[in-house]
Structure 1
């Protein structure tokens, strides 16, 4: 630079700001009428370009000059220059390397189909939505890029002011701009759209950010919306992109669920936590409702873009389409709960205790997101698309495994129970969901507050009401069984269904009342639901353990005894499923009430008063008792689930799956479509893995007869894993093939275990028997695949002609 004084002053300013290395400075002599500066270069070697108009301000307006340079130095100190280069590079690579080829291929396929005029072709809706998805991805990528670039400017402004820049510089720049606030709604919408598209924030936005101390940690609407869309698309691509999910661990039954949940927690959950704990203590802390609804809206838009529920249709079916409200409500409920728990721990001084509280809260939020994404992909999209089952098939499924004399006869009550069973079983799909429920209720109990006390009181009242209902319905069950002489199993099914409804309604009613009286506090709602459930279950446990001792409440036994072997039979019928859904059901149901309560009462948060020594001791005792009871219930439900999956047929409670409902008669076209869907969404991959592992075992036997022991051990171990995945997948929708498939898997599993045993003991004869069992003649799996292929071929020729024509491999046809 020609001005030695200016250069020296800049070097001193860079040192004062804490820059490890003073950047180089260059002047643009052509920029005579602008006063800007830009940072170029790469990490460790940055160059600041100054306009000539800015250099002149060094003598005439030193505060403006200093503010501009401190802003640029903040970019260097924040190391966002390289992030900016990376962001712009990714955007350009996406446009050139991803978007153009994808649009070219999809457009060519769609044009070829339209020109061929093929009747009954179901691909145009799919390809059209693929092109819409591509356009949507362009908008999404651009909005994300622009938001990131705007955010870096805001943080640089805040850092510059913290380093001593004159905050009045930004105000003066704002005053120099032409006012743009005039005009009608159309002009306002235009300004909002332009603000979203800009990569540099307006001076109004920058001044507002400097005036609001919570601006850096606020959960912004656009941020939440983009996160919701990105999470949905990530989960969809990881789950359904062929080949991509092969690189993920096998224990991830749904490969996209946990990565999507982790992303939602790390971005949205952490943002809500920060916005609450760093909010002004004198003002009302954020409730998380606004951020959650924007996250849910983004989730819904992502679902519409990825098309997980429309299939080959143009429009969704009614009334199932109303289920699309769930992608908005459930993520909002998770962030609402996160914000409620964050408000409880906000007064803890920063340190290990607050970090542990944040880790616990966000871990539970991550589990809730995983539960929701897993259920929505496994069953929710199927329900929203129109599940092809009838009430009669649901009732037949409910009666499966029972003797003809013990089955429920068709009636309004039986139909309602059968259909609700379908929903409940799918919601409790994951065994660990009982721990999610316990955690949702436990975390708010770890910190005392007036709102939590409100939740406990309401929970006690609603729990008492549920207890009265339990006693009443138990008496009715006694009349049904012992007085009216009704069949035992149908009567017990109705009885346990009523118990489920009473306990769930008690928990939901407590959550609703707490949400109203606490002005939309999620922690109070969760505590109320948990307390009501604990009270109800304690009463039910007492009734169950004293069965036979009180004549009016006898259900299973007619005489009084202690610690009988069947005391847990009633709990085994519904407790795992109840605790699997109660936590999220109460939180989601209370969300609309919380929104109304927050809108109706926008008041300041009163300071939390201290507690005396006696109240503190009572609080600790009650908290320890509640935590112990909830953990005990979770452990009981979890172990009850494990017990019900074993034992004799008489002792075992059926563990129903949604696809078992397809037992009724269906036409050949629908049956073929079901078989194709079974293979397309995972069955084909399972069979491929199964046959690949068998081939891997065969390759471990060399031409000279010697055995590559490590390779064979690895192959047999992987084969057992493939069989486990096959067993966990949906049953084959053909009643005649599922028993053969189960038997073939069991025989192969046994042979694989014998293979490992023979390798461990170096028993050649046992190894030969195991290898022979792994390759039976005829091969039952090959027979099953051939039959399924024949069933699905007519459907593929009618509905999916292009796919059917190009698939000759038997596994790919599935």
Structure 2
């Protein structure tokens, strides 16, 4: 770490070094990403998977219809077509073993540890130095260095040496804990006589690196990065690049080319992205540590004037210098001077740093998920990313909030959240590519990640600002812990939504699947024709609403998002900027808006009310409940957006408080309108007579609350982000004037006591929290009928059986792929099922032959062995049913004929079995039973006969050479 370039996070953070806390988690995240990437990269190099045979797991996927040249969506739907068959096929396939990669990574870490340990000695051998005592004739240098060590708080473990070959006036520190070396350049000793303050500043800066443990961070990251590049990254890029080059030059006969080009390109791009990510993140961290060391040196007695140097004029433009500045590990002199002149200018991670943090979190989920299957699930991946992202975000914003409050300013957090969200989106764009498309057919769902990060950052920053008004370290630390937990849950909820719903929506799954539409129809059977538009809206909203109300964590976080700022406001003085009265008034206005919207819904529903109660309880009632839910959500979203747009300070807590008030008034409206339904005249929807029925109102309130309490808060928070952005854009032209000397400076906001100063805030807490808690409890434990979302949420996640999506996978573009698909389909169960059906059909033929050999009775009819026919017909039906559960034939035309024949065998086989079972099937006479048996037997034999030609056609697809008479 040299003194010629370096950086602070602010003077307020220097004394105890607490301002450095945000860089620690970021270093940990960076090193974790490197280690996790090493496992998968080294395993790929040491144990490459074959990609030119349909064996093992690849064979199961090919049999299910996977096409490497196809789209992501088509390959994803493999899991939705035949999940049980795929699970059964994959159960016999050994999982990918990462043993070699883990052992190689352990070796890599050991080598990095050795490099870390031997770096100081190698440095001294490469550039010889001499002890400082050899150049200290009168002992004044040693006395000055001891005095500076005392000022810096470094009393042991440091030795001073001099590099006689360096004529510059700088210094560098290296080593490891307990054995640090501060190497002074020869020019610095000359500077000691001409510029003593400059000498003191340089030495104090280097000692600040020792005090702040910067040397450990820099040396460890450098050692791991260099070893990673040599032992993991370069061999991996060589391996993947070789595969890509062989394909591009036509030196491969793999049937998966050029489909494999996209996967290999993705792998190479990921490696290159990792290079850029690590270098940029490490450079940013080192620049920040340099600035921290500058600030600490000043706090220990160095004069800021010692940094009064000019950067050399370069030949490049300013825009180019801004880009190249991101690559340097030391800040410019101008940046260092600005940081020293503005205490707290860099209290937390900057915008580019948070962008890199977002990309790192996404890559971490990708790399660790490959090695640890449990963390590859939606919930595990969301928790893994949250565990690293939340501490970095919270610590950075907490430091920024403290600095902003001391300077009489507020902190939005929106900019930091926007950069973090951009990092998440960028990481997902690269991470999500597994086929020929990159963004997917509906990339707008990626905005969900951006909104997730923006909401989490804005709420955390503004809540941290409010918590600084508490008196005492204990209450502030407790509020900080709650802030971190809620921020983590919000991040987890957004990431969980993405992994379970958003990622699939971006690929177009829910735009094609009829799963939710059919489930809604099953939940409320009836005539849905007049409600086609409502049914579409319900189908598209279900995935998001169910994901926003998962388990207990998300509803609890939704409650804490507005309750914690309200409690903080009630625990401090009135100068917090929350403006409780205006906020609650805005919530009341939103409640009135909801009343008006509900009356409009009731008026529309009255105009199309069915004539009978039976019809009203079907699709009409289901649609009415969802229109009420939509009205409540719309009122909350509009209220949040407007409140955030007109608020200049603490706009997100204010918007969420307004949403809480709006919800209470909205549920009161739901209760009143439904309880007095029959008395509403032109607004009646169900009842025909005027009665006050509070039990009905409670039922609808419970149903609506179960679908709106948590989603309304989260959707309102997203709307508040948009509203705040619009408000900022509108007010921006009026804020362009720079501050003039005569303008009053913003006054710092005074800290407040911990008592409940006024009854109004305490009353607001009780008035909002108690009813909302009752609604939460009622919605979770009430005895009302299941909510619409509850009725259809049993199969709302991708991976459940959806048999009506498509009959089979789209036809593969490559003939080689079609051959391998057919071979895999036959080899992984197609032939086995066909053989089982043939054996069952043979048993049926034997039974028929045995019956034909019998002599007719006196009535001229042959008496059949009912037990035998019952058994063989049932066996044949079961074999056909098992074959139907197998993968579809990887050809849509053949699949339709194959499925029709198997369905006929299964259906008529069951009829045959029932006809041979006396007392079953509802037959009125033995003659009717005999006719049913004859008909079912004939149709079953015809269907079995059509299966063999179909199997031959599938074989011709698998073995195209058999169709060529000249083929050898």
Give the TM-score range, shorter chain: 0.7 to 0.9
Give the number of equivalent residue pairs: 668
Tell me which moved more, 480-489 or 449-458: 480-489
Q: Sort the Cα spacing of 1:384 and 1:482 in 2 relative to 1 into closer, same or farther, 3 A.
A: closer
Confirm or deny that 1:461 pairs with 2:579. no
Cα distance, 1:92 vs structure 2 = 1.0
Cα distance, 1:561 vs structure 2 = 7.0
SS at match of 1:424: helix
Tell me which moved more, 34-43 or 440-449: 440-449
Cα distance, 1:105 vs structure 2 = 2.8
State the alpha-carbon separation in 1 of the partners of residues 351 and 881 from structure 2: 52
Cα distance, 1:472 vs structure 2 = 4.2
Q: Sort the Cα spacing of 1:409 and 1:358 in 2 relative to 1 into closer, same or farther, 3 A.
A: same
Cα distance, 1:438 vs structure 2 = 1.5
| Equivalent residue number for residue 260 of structure 2 | 123
State the alpha-carbon separation in 2 of the partners of residues 574 and 597 from structure 1: 31
SS at match of 2:241: helix
State the alpha-carbon separation in 2 of the partners of residues 670 and 636 from structure 1: 48
Please say if residues 237 and 256 of structure 1, whose CA atoms lie closer than 8 Å, have aligned partners that are also in contact: no
Please say if residues 245 and 255 of structure 1, whose CA atoms lie closer than 8 Å, have aligned partners that are also in contact: no
The counterpart of 1:35, out of the listed 149, 152, 169, is 169
Deviation per residue, 1:34-55 (Å, 9 max, x gap): 1111122221122211112111
Q: Sort the Cα spacing of 1:269 and 1:493 in 2 relative to 1 into closer, same or farther, 3 A.
A: same
The counterpart of 1:257, out of the listed 375, 382, 401, is 382
Q: Sort the Cα spacing of 1:392 and 1:140 in 2 relative to 1 into closer, same or farther, 3 A.
A: closer
| Equivalent residue number for residue 801 of structure 1 | none
| Equivalent residue number for residue 772 of structure 2 | 630
Please say if residues 469 and 750 of structure 2, whose CA atoms lie closer than 8 Å, have aligned partners that are also in contact: no
Deviation per residue, 1:350-388 (Å, 9 max, x gap): 611221222222211111100111111111111111216
Please say if residues 41 and 47 of structure 1, whose CA atoms lie closer than 8 Å, have aligned partners that are also in contact: yes
State the alpha-carbon separation in 2 of the partners of residues 526 and 352 from structure 1: 26
State the alpha-carbon separation in 1 of the partners of residues 711 and 338 from structure 2: 43
Please say if residues 610 and 616 of structure 2, whose CA atoms lie closer than 8 Å, have aligned partners that are also in contact: no
Tell me which moved more, 489-498 or 605-614: 605-614
Where do residues 55-70 of structure 1 align in structure 2 (5 Å cutoff)?
Answer: 55-70=189-204
Q: Sort the Cα spacing of 1:542 and 1:273 in 2 relative to 1 into closer, same or farther, 3 A.
A: farther
| Equivalent residue number for residue 151 of structure 2 | 16
Deviation per residue, 1:654-686 (Å, 9 max, x gap): 64514469442513115999xxxxxxxxxxxxx
| Equivalent residue number for residue 620 of structure 2 | 491
Cα distance, 1:545 vs structure 2 = 5.0
Cα distance, 1:427 vs structure 2 = 4.1
Tell me which moved more, 424-433 or 634-643: 634-643
Confirm or deny that 1:79 pairs with 2:200. no
Q: Sort the Cα spacing of 1:653 and 1:786 in 2 relative to 1 into closer, same or farther, 3 A.
A: closer
Please say if residues 441 and 526 of structure 1, whose CA atoms lie closer than 8 Å, have aligned partners that are also in contact: yes
Where do residues 180-579 of structure 1 align in structure 2 (5 Å cutoff)?
Answer: 187-239=317-369, 241=370, 243-246=371-374, 254-306=379-431, 308=432, 310-318=433-441, 320-349=442-471, 351-387=473-509, 389-390=511-512, 394-403=516-525, 405=526, 411-430=532-551, 432-448=553-569, 449-453=576-580, 454-474=582-602, 477=605, 480-481=608-609, 486-519=615-648, 521-544=651-674, 560=691, 564=695, 568-571=698-701, 573-579=703-709
What RMSD, in angstroms, separates the aligned Cα atoms of the two structures? Answer: 3.6
Cα distance, 1:791 vs structure 2 = 4.1
| Equivalent residue number for residue 800 of structure 1 | none
Cα distance, 1:503 vs structure 2 = 0.8
Confirm or deny that 1:593 pairs with 2:723. yes
Q: Sort the Cα spacing of 1:641 and 1:519 in 2 relative to 1 into closer, same or farther, 3 A.
A: farther
Deviation per residue, 1:732-781 (Å, 9 max, x gap): xxxxxxxxxxxxxxxxxxxxxxxxxxxxxxxxxxxxxxxxxxxxxx9xxx
Please say if residues 173 and 206 of structure 2, whose CA atoms lie closer than 8 Å, have aligned partners that are also in contact: yes
Please say if residues 238 and 255 of structure 1, whose CA atoms lie closer than 8 Å, have aligned partners that are also in contact: no
TM-score by length of 1: 0.74
Tell me which moved more, 322-331 or 136-145: 322-331
Q: Sort the Cα spacing of 1:561 and 1:276 in 2 relative to 1 into closer, same or farther, 3 A.
A: same
| Equivalent residue number for residue 286 of structure 2 | 149
Please say if residues 448 and 498 of structure 2, whose CA atoms lie closer than 8 Å, have aligned partners that are also in contact: no
Cα distance, 1:556 vs structure 2 = 5.8
Please say if residues 70 and 160 of structure 1, whose CA atoms lie closer than 8 Å, have aligned partners that are also in contact: yes
State the alpha-carbon separation in 1 of the partners of residues 714 and 805 from structure 2: 35
**Structure 1: 5+ residue runs without aligned partners?**
674-777, 796-804, 806-814
**Structure 2: 5+ residue runs without aligned partners?**
1-132, 570-575, 736-744, 814-874, 893-957, 959-968
State the alpha-carbon separation in 2 of the partners of residues 667 and 643 from structure 1: 35
State the alpha-carbon separation in 2 of the partners of residues 656 and 572 from structure 1: 22
Deviation per residue, 1:509-562 (Å, 9 max, x gap): 111111122126211111112221121112223444556676776656667577
Q: Sort the Cα spacing of 1:39 and 1:400 in 2 relative to 1 into closer, same or farther, 3 A.
A: same
Q: Sort the Cα spacing of 1:391 and 1:654 in 2 relative to 1 into closer, same or farther, 3 A.
A: closer
Deviation per residue, 1:187-215 (Å, 9 max, x gap): 12210122111111111111111111112
Confirm or deny that 1:47 pairs with 2:181. yes
Tell me which moved more, 326-335 or 296-305: 326-335
State the alpha-carbon separation in 2 of the partners of residues 300 and 587 from structure 1: 19
SS at match of 1:138: helix
Cα distance, 1:131 vs structure 2 = 0.5
State the alpha-carbon separation in 2 of the partners of residues 52 and 391 from structure 1: 73
State the alpha-carbon separation in 1 of the partners of residues 553 and 881 from structure 2: 33
Cα distance, 1:785 vs structure 2 = 10
Greater length-normalized contact order (CA 8 Å, ≥ 6 residues apart):
2
Please say if residues 462 and 506 of structure 1, whose CA atoms lie closer than 8 Å, have aligned partners that are also in contact: yes
State the alpha-carbon separation in 1 of the partners of residues 264 and 286 from structure 2: 33
State the alpha-carbon separation in 2 of the partners of residues 205 and 601 from structure 1: 29
State the alpha-carbon separation in 2 of the partners of residues 669 and 653 from structure 1: 26
State the alpha-carbon separation in 1 of the partners of residues 455 and 669 from structure 2: 29
Please say if residues 378 and 500 of structure 2, whose CA atoms lie closer than 8 Å, have aligned partners that are also in contact: no
Q: Sort the Cα spacing of 1:29 and 1:388 in 2 relative to 1 into closer, same or farther, 3 A.
A: same
State the alpha-carbon separation in 1 of the partners of residues 771 and 365 from structure 2: 35
Cα distance, 1:345 vs structure 2 = 2.5
State the alpha-carbon separation in 2 of the partners of residues 628 and 542 from structure 1: 20
SS at match of 2:165: coil
SS at match of 1:525: helix
The counterpart of 1:94, out of the listed 213, 219, 228, is 228
Deviation per residue, 1:90-149 (Å, 9 max, x gap): 211221232123213322333454433556743211111111111000000111111121
SS at match of 1:39: strand
State the alpha-carbon separation in 2 of the partners of residues 193 and 232 from structure 1: 24
Q: Sort the Cα spacing of 1:130 and 1:654 in 2 relative to 1 into closer, same or farther, 3 A.
A: closer
Please say if residues 702 and 784 of structure 2, whose CA atoms lie closer than 8 Å, have aligned partners that are also in contact: no
Please say if residues 405 and 465 of structure 2, whose CA atoms lie closer than 8 Å, have aligned partners that are also in contact: no
Cα distance, 1:410 vs structure 2 = 5.8
Q: Sort the Cα spacing of 1:129 and 1:17 in 2 relative to 1 into closer, same or farther, 3 A.
A: same
Please say if residues 664 and 771 of structure 2, whose CA atoms lie closer than 8 Å, have aligned partners that are also in contact: yes
Where do residues 705-716 of structure 1 align in structure 2 (5 Å cutoff)?
Answer: none
SS at match of 2:301: coil
Q: Sort the Cα spacing of 1:435 and 1:546 in 2 relative to 1 into closer, same or farther, 3 A.
A: farther
The counterpart of 1:664, out of the listed 790, 801, 804, is 804
| Equivalent residue number for residue 738 of structure 1 | none
Please say if residues 516 and 796 of structure 2, whose CA atoms lie closer than 8 Å, have aligned partners that are also in contact: no
State the alpha-carbon separation in 2 of the partners of residues 547 and 271 from structure 1: 53
Deviation per residue, 1:171-196 (Å, 9 max, x gap): 1xx23x3245xx8xx71221012211
- Structure (1 or 2) with the larger CA radius of gyration: 2
Please say if residues 330 and 372 of structure 1, whose CA atoms lie closer than 8 Å, have aligned partners that are also in contact: yes
